[in-house]
Copies of this chain bind each other. A is one copy, B any other.
Amino acid sequence: MSKSNNVYKDAYNRGLRLLDETKSLPSEPELGALLGVSRTTIRTILARMEETGLITWNKRSKTVLRVPRPDDFFPEEETDTLSQIIERSFMRRLLAGGAEPGMQINELELAREIGVGTTSVREFLIRFSRFGLIEKRRNSHWVLKGFTRAFALELTEIREMFELRSAAAFAALPEDSPVWADLDLLEDEHRLLAREIATRFNEFSELDERFHRLIHRASHNRFIVDFYDVIAMIFHYHYQWNKAQERERNEVAVAEHLAYIAALKSRDPGKVDAACRKHLKSARHTLLTSIPEGQQPQRA
């Protein structure tokens, strides 16, 4: 099987959406830049679009013949990266319960179960290890440290340290920095979401991530920025499995964000610190209450 063509399929799907808007497509390099793939992939896409009668293609002219139908798209699941597939599979096992701290992780078994090669699983585990949930025994298996209360506490400790520092750096940014415009846009989105929170509460987590990443970026420190990946990963998966009081939680968080944004705009260090602390405190509380108690890490 060697390598799936998910890059092509995903780009193709995204390319279909362009057909709604124009009567003719731009040049190959331009399309490549637009979809974030190489010309090689673009040409494969164009070839198929021609084949399925979506466009005519002759050198520079790429005329749209018809609007894409739902069945023109490749199925969603065929557009996923292998590492996304492995990650999802792995996280499901991890969060589905029965994953006790101290448990061994078997590369071969994982690979067989997911139906992929061991190399991909190995690479995934190496990449994943920086999240601090697993650990490698030299020349031997991986050990699951587990999504425990201790993990959550250690994670939030760093998060709070980093975010307080980033928020302070943010507030100290000069007036003419482009981040203030970004912040204004995010503020608008927050207000909109707040108004329609009853129906759109599940859109919060995406907004949450963008907001916090913007703040962390103000630190101008790659270690701080990168650390947000850990937080994002945890939030992403954990809240997929813990929907309790999601609406209420998010409603509170949106309000806290708005207060936080106001504090940042005031550029008053004291206010920023207070608003940031308040939000982080409730975020920690939310995370901690959602962790099943009693899971205690095993002795090594």
Residues of A within 8 A of B (CB): 7, 36-37, 119, 122-123, 126-127, 130, 132, 138-139, 145, 151, 154-155, 157-158, 161, 165, 220-224, 226-227, 230
Residues of B within 8 A of A132 (CB): 222-223, 226
Q: Given contacts A7-B139, A165-B161, are A154 and B223 in contact (CB under 8 A)?
A: yes
Residue of B nearest to A223 (CB): B158
Which residue of the partner chain, among B119, B130, B151, contacts A130 with CB atoms under 8 Å?
B130
Residue of B nearest to A145 (CB): B222
Residues of B within 8 A of A157 (CB): 221, 223
How often does this chain occur in the complex, in copies? 2
> Quick one: which of A122, A130, A138, A222 has the most chain B CB within 10 A?
A222
Which residue of the partner chain, among B123, B158, B226, contacts A224 with CB atoms under 8 Å?
B158
Residues of B within 8 A of A7 (CB): 139
A79 to chain B, nearest CB (A): 13
Instruction: Say yes or no: B221 contacts A154, CB within 8 Å.
Output: yes
Bound: A123/B221 CA distance, A = 25
Bound: A122/B122 CA distance, A = 11
Residues of B within 8 A of A119 (CB): 119
What are 11 of the A-B contact pairs (CB < 8 Å)?
A119-B119, A122-B123, A130-B130, A132-B222, A132-B223, A132-B226, A145-B222, A154-B220, A158-B223, A158-B224, A161-B165
Residues of B within 8 A of A165 (CB): 161
Residue of B nearest to A36 (CB): B138
Instruction: Say yes or no: A221 contacts B158, CB within 8 Å.
Output: yes
